[in-house]
Structure 1
Amino acid sequence: MSIYIKKNKFLFILTILTSVISSLGYVFMAVLLQQLLDIAMDKNIQQFIRMVIFSIVYFIVLGFFLYLQSLLSKKVICKIILQIRSDVFRGTINHSIEDFEKKNTADYISVVTNDVKMLEDNFLLPLFEVVQYTVIFISSFVLMIYFDIIVTLCVIVAIAVMFLMPSLLGGTLEKRQNKFSSKLAEFTVSLKDILSGFEIIKSYSMSKTVIQRFDKANTETIKSKYSVDRLLALNEGLSAFLALMVQIVVLFLSAYFIIAGRITVGTLLGMVQVSSNLANPLIMIFTNIPKMKSVHPIVEKLEIISKHSIFLSQKESVATYQSHISAKDLSFSYDGTTDILSGIDCLIEKGKKYVIVGKSGCGKSTLIKLLSGYYSTYKGKILYDDTEFHMLDKDSVVQLSSIIHQNIYMFDETIYDNICLHEHYPEEQVEKVIADSGLTEFISELPTGLQYRVGENGSNLSGGQKQRIAVARALIRNKPILILDEGTSAIDMQTAYDIENRLLKMEDLTLITITHHLEQNLLDKYDEIFYMENGHIKERGSFKHLINTSSCFSEYFHLKK
């Protein structure tokens, strides 16, 4: 957290300064009360009038500083929260695809929302309260010594007992707060999973089941929260009790000293006021300190995420694709035990067209994800112009290719934004990719054209329309490699044929297609076909070569036909 305080050090120092001034002004009210009562006991009307005038001016100035302190503290908290959320989000975005997929998306959402909110409620707000009430306590303590040293010594004994509370409860509270953060993340994951499958829930009458699942997760989360609140309540109750004892000690001792003639009635009132300024700040301080300690695991979690660097290390260089991409003896497993790919050797030369076919689950999509730089935990080698993947900047490898998947994600924005993704392209280039992807007729029928909003994940579009937009999105970037992972499966056969045919005619484009639609006219135009079985490239070659000499591909082709 210190880095964010340093970023806002001027505003932070100004907030602390106004807090000190307003706190001192608040404590000084005890002296005013003492003077006022002593003047009243003396029945001195002239001093009373001067005291009234002084008090009016004093309270106006104090009110201004109290407002300024409140305003500045809220301002600096807002700025820090803004910076934390921004850094955590940037850190999340800077994950590699491989690292990002190690957690559920809802975990990241929970960190940005729930954990940052807990940091605000249990660290930043208490931090300024602790500063404010510490100033009030110290200045009140000094004033108590000014009023009477014996009463002050008795107060010190009571305060010493209060200091034990945070140390006794802080460790347990930290553990429970960390558990509550985990439960919040699990609850967010469960809720996102349920809502994402809403169509399945309604179609298969799962309402009762998911309500029970939600109620269970909700109950566990609230139980975890209550375990934290219960400990906080114990801390607050004990602190309040001890603070009350401080006031009682001050009240009875002061009353005794009036009887003994040691102090005046005005001093009694002043000491009672000061004792409340000792007791109440102590309640706040010893309530907030355990809160601040309890968020330490959350702070560490936020720091880990936000520290993902966007810079290249000295050993990494930018990936190039001037000649080829090759895989040598490539093997890969998602779980570290079962190989999805094994012993893969292949060469993807620039400008050539490749198609990967095979039964579902044979590893086709996994292979292209590896070639696209999605995963780094493989065995063997993946070379980009003879430079191994691990020596390259991972983001630059990903930027070599555009992938069109069967399941297309659409942002809840316009068609234009989903194609250009908030980058600027010439109007004629946009029009060309719209025509090449078969979107022209569809867009012309829309009342707002390219400015038509697609809805959440393209809910206002058909599957075919979403895939056409995805094709346009990929084409407009002119990346050297285009990958179709069943990318035209939701489009009618004629449009899919036309799009794929256009892509095959682009000389500088390296095209890699995964497909179950085996059209002989198209397959014959590919430079090489990879036929996969059980994580291996079983056969390879041109269509004419494989259909005449191959047993596996030929059998697969005829079965499909």
Structure 2
Amino acid sequence: MTKTDRDVLGRGMRILGIAIREEPRVFAAAVGASALYGATTVGSALVIGRVTDHVVVPAFHDGDTSTGALTGAFLVVFGIAILKALGIVGRRLWAGIMQYRLQATYRRRVTRQYLRLPLAWHHKHPTGALLSNANADVEAAWYPIAPLPMATGVVVMLLLAAAAMVATDWALALVGFVIFPAIFVLNVVYQRRQGPLAMRAQELRADVSAIAHESFDGALVVKTLGREDEEAARFAAASTELADANIAVGRVRALFDPLLEALPSLGVLLVLLAGSIRISHGDLEAGELVQIAYLFTLLAFPVRAIGWLLGDMPRAVVGFERVEHVLDADGESVYGDTAAGKSGPAGLEARTVRFGYLDGADVLTDVTFDVAPGRTVAVVGPTGSGKSTLASLLVRLVDPGSGAVLLDGVDLRDYRHGGIAATAALVPQQAFLFDDTVRDNITLGLDVDDDAVRAALRTAQAEEFVDRLPHGLDTKVGERGTSLSGGQRQRIALARALVRKPRLLVMDDATSAVDPRVEAAILAGLRDDAGPSTVVVVAYRKATIALADEVVFLEDGRIQARGTHRELLDASVGYRRLVNAYERAARERDQAAGTGPESPDPTTAAETRDEEVPA
């Protein structure tokens, strides 16, 4: 056995030890049932040998037998068979319970860990790989649990059978035992060949899952760019590689399984040959030969059961270590003990915030601003300026590399777990809806009545179109809300945030797919008492920006200017050029679609001329 084989075996035994510690009572019940099966199996061999000597052979010799002898033989054999059946049922039942309970336990642990880990950690790992960790890897980790109680319990069978054979005829037992070194060597060779192949197949399962999820998640890109054939080819290549790996595993198993089956049969033939010679010399009874031959066939089964256990270990090691990688992941968000405020507008402040992603370059640098309670602030900036990153920082989806974000004067990192979610809400540009009803997509388990749901829909300017749906609030929207338009999905997502009555609402371009007039009505509604007290909105439309109390102009990850929309138009050339460019692009798009005005209004035209002012 090589060092690699010993390493896999050692890691596999550690996994089995963890399983036993996790479910000690269930394991004990399964092993007890397996031991009962092993003992009764050996007992049946002894009974068959006794029946042969005291019932079958006399019947042939005398040509007759008694009813009592036949009845007694039947009752003994039947009783042994019942106990054996109970052992089989108990072994399989408790082994299955143990395996599935461990799978459920570790799926829950992996899922809870996913929820605990910050968004930055998720950015580093493909979603398909995370799905594979929670499903295929967890299943693979506990595959050996099915044969484990059997392999442990049948050791009783192995010891009892070997002892019974030696007690019956030690010379004949030695003849049979010659075959077991060959079985052991064959198992070692099998593990050495099968191990790397099983590990490779398990790794490829995660690759296939990752590609499939990425293709499904990017279905819109695939369809609009005509990438169906390329995606199908990419998935086919990965699937073919996985199929080849599984076939290689099956090919090795198909080669060794017949050999492992044949060796015990060869041993039986040797025992029968040597036994017939001993019977002819009067050194052995026929019943003893039958008993030893039957016991020898039983000895092969424990060896095979242990082989099944060892055969599943390489795949289990890979699966468990991939699961452990998730469970041992660091970067979990740390929380404090401060309770969030219950009511009233929330004050917001960013102090010298810096943040960067994996490439090391800062996305935000020295960002400092404050939002007074009850105010509406628009964050404006060109693409890549860090607006969405800032929105994530304001609700602590990520933590700043340095500096701090404060809510009501308290660092977000000092709040209790769940405190920020109870106070602040983020509405992203890409609205995600579940394959559920409109009501359940808004409440998401929150205990609110339909009046509160309708009030949120009204503020989000969504009540009218929801009432026109076939079943109103009970209408199912389909996977990811595919039965709704982009603007409708955004308004449902906004209502989802509003129904929770957040003291701080952060909207990351959350109305980009909504008609400008509807967007203006939404922002006007947010100013009412029914809406959240403090609003931070990432915006690009001039009409939307003009509704804000203050504008923060972000460029190259830094705040370049602050003030009202009119003040920044007069004071900042970069801001004026940006918002006018947005306005002109939107107007041209509307005119191309036949929905916009034929010419800009005088105010817009005047502001557009201002963009010619040199920097």
After the TM superposition, which of the residue ranges 146-155 and 107-116 deviates more from structure 2? Answer: 146-155
Candidates 15, 20, 29, aligned match of 2:35: 20
After the TM superposition, which of the residue ranges 35-44 and 209-218 deviates more from structure 2? Answer: 35-44
| Residues paired across the two proteins, number | 557
Indicate the residue corresponding to 2:490 in structure 1. 467
Q: Secondary structure at the match of 1:340?
A: strand
Indicate the residue corresponding to 1:35 in structure 2. 50
After the TM superposition, which of the residue ranges 187-196 and 240-249 deviates more from structure 2? Answer: 240-249
**Among the aligned pairs, what percent are the same residue?**
22
* Contact in 2 for aligned 1:371/1:382 (Cα 8 Å): yes
1:555 and 2:555 correspond: no
1:101 and 2:123 correspond: yes
Superposition deviation, residue 508 in structure 1:
5.9
Indicate the residue corresponding to 2:596 in structure 1. none
Cα deviation per residue 1:263-309 (whole Å; 9 max; x = unaligned)? 11111111111111012331232232132254123223324434679
Q: Please list, as runs of the form range in 1=range in 2, the aligned pairs for 1:46-125 lying within 5 A after superposition.
A: 46=66, 47-120=69-142, 122-125=143-146
Indicate the residue corresponding to 2:439 in structure 1. 416
Q: Secondary structure at the match of 2:292?
A: helix
Q: Please list, as runs of the form range in 1=range in 2, the aligned pairs for 1:21-420 lying within 5 A after superposition.
A: 21-39=36-54, 40-43=56-59, 45-46=65-66, 47-120=69-142, 122-165=143-186, 170=191, 173-233=194-254, 235-237=256-258, 239-306=260-327, 316-318=336-338, 320=340, 324-376=347-399, 378-384=401-407, 387-388=410-411, 396-397=419-420, 399-420=422-443
Change (3 A) 1:408 1:82: same
* Contact in 1 for aligned 2:425/2:504 (Cα 8 Å): yes
Cα distance in structure 2, aligned partners of 1:214 and 1:28: 55
* Contact in 2 for aligned 1:312/1:393 (Cα 8 Å): no
Cα deviation per residue 1:526-548 (whole Å; 9 max; x = unaligned)? 23211122222111112232223
Cα distance in structure 2, aligned partners of 1:398 and 1:182: 37
- 1:112 maps to a residue whose letter is A
Cα distance in structure 2, aligned partners of 1:69 and 1:368: 55
Superposition deviation, residue 60 in structure 1:
3.5
Cα distance in structure 1, aligned partners of 2:125 and 2:289: 62
Cα distance in structure 1, aligned partners of 2:243 and 2:47: 48
After the TM superposition, which of the residue ranges 187-196 and 247-256 deviates more from structure 2? Answer: 247-256
Change (3 A) 1:363 1:319: farther
Superposition deviation, residue 420 in structure 1:
0.1
Q: Secondary structure at the match of 1:356?
A: strand
After the TM superposition, which of the residue ranges 46-55 and 432-441 deviates more from structure 2? Answer: 46-55
After the TM superposition, which of the residue ranges 240-249 and 47-56 deviates more from structure 2? Answer: 240-249
Q: Secondary structure at the match of 2:350?
A: strand
* Contact in 2 for aligned 1:235/1:287 (Cα 8 Å): no
TM-score normalized with structure 2 length: 0.82
* Contact in 2 for aligned 1:354/1:526 (Cα 8 Å): yes
1:9 and 2:24 correspond: yes
Cα distance in structure 2, aligned partners of 1:236 and 1:362: 63
Cα distance in structure 1, aligned partners of 2:547 and 2:515: 20
After the TM superposition, which of the residue ranges 524-533 and 187-196 deviates more from structure 2? Answer: 524-533
Cα deviation per residue 1:312-364 (whole Å; 9 max; x = unaligned)? 86x73347478644333333222233332223222234332211112222211
Cα distance in structure 1, aligned partners of 2:412 and 2:257: 57
Change (3 A) 1:433 1:216: same
After the TM superposition, which of the residue ranges 473-482 and 341-350 deviates more from structure 2? Answer: 341-350
* Contact in 1 for aligned 2:373/2:533 (Cα 8 Å): yes
Cα distance in structure 1, aligned partners of 2:383 and 2:262: 69
Cα distance in structure 1, aligned partners of 2:46 and 2:150: 23
Cα deviation per residue 1:22-73 (whole Å; 9 max; x = unaligned)? 2211222211221222222223713344212332343344334433433333
Q: Secondary structure at the match of 1:407?
A: coil
Indicate the residue corresponding to 1:513 in structure 2. 537
* Contact in 2 for aligned 1:94/1:309 (Cα 8 Å): no
TM-score normalized with structure 1 length: 0.90
Change (3 A) 1:328 1:166: farther
- 2:156 maps to a residue whose letter is V
1:544 and 2:559 correspond: no
Candidates 445, 461, 473, aligned match of 1:450: 473
In structure 1, runs of 5+ residues without a counterpart are: none
Indicate the residue corresponding to 1:437 in structure 2. 460
Q: Secondary structure at the match of 2:548?
A: coil
In structure 2, runs of 5+ residues without a counterpart are: 1-14, 584-615
Superposition deviation, residue 206 in structure 1:
3.0
Superposition deviation, residue 113 in structure 1:
2.4
Change (3 A) 1:4 1:296: same
C-alpha root-mean-square deviation of aligned residues, in Å?
3.0
Q: Please list, as runs of the form range in 1=range in 2, the aligned pairs for 1:519-534 lying within 5 A after superposition.
A: 519=543, 522-534=544-556
Change (3 A) 1:62 1:556: closer
Cα deviation per residue 1:136-195 (whole Å; 9 max; x = unaligned)? 322221221222222333444432443345555546644443332221111011112223
- 1:77 maps to a residue whose letter is Q
Q: Secondary structure at the match of 1:498?
A: helix
Cα distance in structure 2, aligned partners of 1:323 and 1:57: 77
Q: Secondary structure at the match of 2:362?
A: coil
Change (3 A) 1:447 1:294: closer
After the TM superposition, which of the residue ranges 267-276 and 72-81 deviates more from structure 2? Answer: 72-81
Q: Secondary structure at the match of 1:331?
A: strand
